[in-house]
A and B are shown apart, each in its own frame.
Chain A
Amino acid sequence: MRHLTQQSPRTDALSEVGESSKLGLRDLFLAHHASVWRLLRRLGVPMAQADDAAQEVFWVAARRLADISPGSEHAFLYGVAIRVAATERRRGKHSAMLYAIDQVPEPRCAERDPEQQLAGKQARELLDEVLDHMSDAARTVFVLYELEALELQDIAQVLDLPRGTVSSRLRRARDEFSQIAARVRAALQRQEGS
């Protein structure tokens, strides 16, 4: 479990190497880029836009570097990533209508791949399929809790919501996820059978 309030190990600065007690931008970038990129993908940013969106998150971080208190880097980046992902999703909706929950299409990665290393890819694509059909609010809470392993109070902090709201949203999100996953699974089995 990751804790957002953890103290940075680098606060005991040695003056020879610089005065700052904060993480440099490069450190921040290298340490968090992969998780930011992944989070953006799971929050619905398409593969083609994920690289740019991740850069965008760190552009914001570069400008706000002085505002990020040590230990809260993760929370800060998550907050920015969620906003960036929301913007990307809004952009995407102009071109592609979202499906209603009961209109789940056939899974995109229909062909069953014999290679084990592609199984993960297929599972992720199916997951994104499921997530894409969740409401944005439910999806965000679900991803932060189930995939990013944040605690409820940390999610409440990142989203600036009361903890109770996060908790009830998570319950709804799990229901939504199960329903949609069941449909996707059924569709996949139909495809296998035919």
Chain B
Amino acid sequence: MKRPLTELGPRDFEHALLDAARSDSTGPRPDAAWARFSVAAASLDRAASLDPAESSNTESPAGTAGSKPTSQPSLPSKPTGSGGAPTPAAAPAVATKLLALAAVAGLGAAAATLALTTSVGNSPGGEHASNSASASSFESTAASALPDVVPPPAALERPPITGNAASETTPARAHGESLRLPPSTAVNAHLSLADEVRLMDAARQALSSGGAARARTLIAEHRRRFPRGALTTDIAYLEIEALHAQGRTVELRRLGAAFLARYPRDTHASRVRHLLEQ
């Protein structure tokens, strides 16, 4: 039993305060926060797809008609648990804001989404996705290649401290606050992330409804389009689950071992280990 703070001398009092902060474990669970983040990314995509210019072509990303509306709401319920994070409130606020962003960024963003959606739907066999994207339009290249592209020479070794935090950030804010508009490249990056989430979600959906082969096609598609995507780990894990579902033990072992070697402390690692031990 520690002594009450009031009985501590000045130095011990200071140390007690600092120690309490060092052992601070409050805050939302990271997986719940990640779920919220993913939902916000998907909301962005949804907001952009509300654009009338695109509405005639709302083909679902993977060509699985109807899977998009159901698969996206399934995201928040996945790992949320308790966590205490104000998850549901975030999505609409972000959606509203991003709708405005898409409107301001105008045809650029809408065209990018359109081109991306179409390019997934068509899925030219064997063709490298970034090639097909760049063939369809300049805007889509900007959007799909952004996370993969070589950074500009002034790449961030040390982030700038002063100034433009306001223009840099696109938070999940409540309604009524002033809108801070990032440059349109930022919108494209968001769209690209949203597209990744959507494609992965379609693969997950396919797998959970018994379509392991379909899931693997989508996974391959994801890998072609986002070779350095943000969700590489999730996709690798999903592929292992799909192989397990198909009973392809040889490939399962190979990919499973590779996964564990590369992501030994990933949240999926214990599940992968379990699959390998079977």
Contact = CB atoms under 8 A, between A and B. Distances in A.
Given A55-B36, A56-B169, A59-B171, A178 B14 contact: yes
Interface string B86-129: 10001000000000000000000000000000000000000000
A55 to B, nearest CB: 5
A64 B159 CA distance: 11
A58 B266 CA distance: 19
Interface in B73-89: 85-86
B206 interface: no
B27 A38 contact: yes
Contacts of A185: 5-6, 8, 10, 13
Contacts of A135: none
Contact of B263 (A27, A64, A147): A27
A106 to B, nearest CB: 13
A159 interface: yes
B228 A126 contact: no
A130 interface: yes
Interface string B218-232: 000001000111111
B30 A124 contact: no
B227 A19 contact: yes
Contacts, number: 218
Q: Is the interface of A mostly helix, strand, loop or mixed?
A: helix
A188 B4 CA distance: 11
Bin the interface of chain A by size: 35 or more
B151 interface: yes
B236 interface: yes
Bin the interface of chain B by size: 35 or more
B258 A19 contact: no
Interface in B1-22: 1-2, 4-6, 8, 10, 13-14, 16-22
Interface of B: 1-2, 4-6, 8, 10, 13-14, 16-28, 30-31, 33-34, 36-37, 40-41, 85-86, 90, 146-151, 155-161, 165-166, 168-173, 182, 186, 189-190, 193, 223, 227-236, 254-255, 258-259, 261-263, 266-267
20 contacts: A14-B258, A16-B258, A17-B255, A18-B236, A19-B227, A25-B230, A56-B171, A63-B146, A65-B147, A67-B151, A69-B157, A72-B157, A80-B159, A83-B161, A86-B165, A87-B166, A123-B5, A159-B161, A181-B14, A185-B13
